Amino acid sequence: MRKLTLALLVLFLAMACQNKQQDEEYPHPQVVTNLDQQEGVFIHITHAGDDVHRLLMAATLADKMSVDKDVIVYFDIEGVKAVLKDSEDFPMNAFKSSKALLKSLMKKGIDIMACPGCLKAAGKSADDLMEGVMVADKEKFFNFTDGRILTIDY
């Protein structure tokens, strides 16, 4: 019994030393938060005239959150049809219209982007986007805020 106990103790100590060595070689990641960093909100809009409620709810959230958050708005799928030069102004009770909301966002300096592939699928190009809307840039997706990114999909 003593030999078994001694063998288990040696095995335990050897495993503990090995784990310590692995921790030193591969330190555990640490979460560092900087409370001075402003969080960002990424609003993803996939609808336009096919579901005006979704479009206006998302744009309204972007407008409201931009008061104290970094915001970026990304249009793809059917949503690109809301940010074209010749797009309709989509109204709905209880909301500002789509063009009024987009104008408000642009006035605040919010980046509004459209998916280039979705534009192409719609038979459109960057030249068809309304002034102030840009073709999506992947670097802006990740660099628009120094803090955490919250994504809201519509």
Mean pLDDT of the chain: 81
Q: Shortest CA distance to 56 belongs to which of 88, 33, 16, 20? A: 88
57 Cβ contact partners less than 8 Å away, ≥ 6 residues apart? 95, 154
User: 21 vs 121, which has greater pLDDT?
Assistant: 121
6 Cβ contact partners less than 8 Å away, ≥ 6 residues apart? none
**Any idea what the CATH number is for the domain that residue 85 is in?**
3.40.1260.10
How confident is the model over 8-22, as pLDDT tens digits? 555 555 555 555 444
The count of structural domains within the chain is 1
How confident is the model over 58-72, as pLDDT tens digits? 999 999 998 888 898
- The domain of 83 spans 40-153
pTM across the whole model = 0.72
Q: Return the pLDDT at 114.
A: 96
